[in-house]
Amino acid sequence: MNNKNPEVAMESIHIEKASLSNLVADQLAEYIYNGKWELGQQIPSEAQLTQMFNVSRVSIRSALNVLRERGLIRTIQGKGSFVQSAVNVPHVKFALSERDYLEIIDLRTAIEEYVISRLLESGLDKEDEKAIKEQLDLLIYWSTKPHYDYEQMCQADYKFHLCITRASKNNLFSSIIESSEEQIISFLLASNKIVYGNYVQSHIDLFDALKNSNRNKTEKLTSEFRKSQQMKFN
């Protein structure tokens, strides 16, 4: 990983006062999207950015927070901020509040608890089992070196759970999850679930439990999923 500070021209960048932090955030995001700042690279300090954009440090801090919410950067205390994702897709730009996060947790968990209960009664058919397994394989692939890509992991995570929902044959629930794609993926990007050590393993275990109609195991995993997500706000 390249941790050196990039050589950035310190020319003054004048911005209108309205929505300063969002405008700065959009400009910083463009540096990432166009490759000026590469994946893993450390971005300029708050002091440098304040000079570059000729705005207050408060505006810079707010802009950096927007980038963190979009999943574009991560900040390490005492070291600085680093580019975490360099892919320009619509859902990356969808910023969420704490209330939004909690509502998404409740939505996903409530639907999945019902769906899993149905699937434990009916069982997985071969076609649905194959679809879920394909997304699980992608999640495993993108989580391992040299392929590691957190954004692709989030995509596979979303599709893994979508396939589980579709397997219940409940069109309403499937439509809700499909229409919430941008919010859910933004949530996954910003929550950095990978910090929980059993992130990928929990998906493997859930697939195995569903395939084998293990009710106790699936209920335990669903409960652990909700708790792990809520840890972000405790």
Amino acid at 217: K
**CA 122 → CA 73, 86, 117, 129, 210, distances in Å?**
43, 42, 9, 13, 11
Q: Higher model confidence: residue 144 or residue 3?
A: 144
- Omega into 6 within 30° of 0, i.e. cis? no
Q: Is the pLDDT of residue 54 over 60?
A: yes
Band of pLDDT at residue 16, cut at 50, 70 and 90: very low
What digits encode the pLDDT tens for the residues 122-181?
Answer: 989 999 999 999 999 999 998 887 777 888 888 899 999 999 999 999 988 888 888 888
What digits encode the pLDDT tens for the residues 147-160?
Answer: 778 888 888 999 99
Q: Higher model confidence: residue 228 or residue 169?
A: 169
CATH 1.10.10.10 location in the chain? 20-88
222: tokens are 């669903």
Its CATH architecture, for the domain 96-233, is Up-down Bundle (1.20)
- With beta carbons less than 8 A apart as the criterion, state whether 76 and 70 touch: no
CATH number for domain 20-88, candidates 3.20.20.80, 1.10.287.180, 1.25.40.10, 1.10.10.10: 1.10.10.10
**Model-level pTM?**
0.58
CATH 1.20.120.530 location in the chain? 96-233
- With beta carbons less than 8 A apart as the criterion, state whether 63 and 25 touch: yes
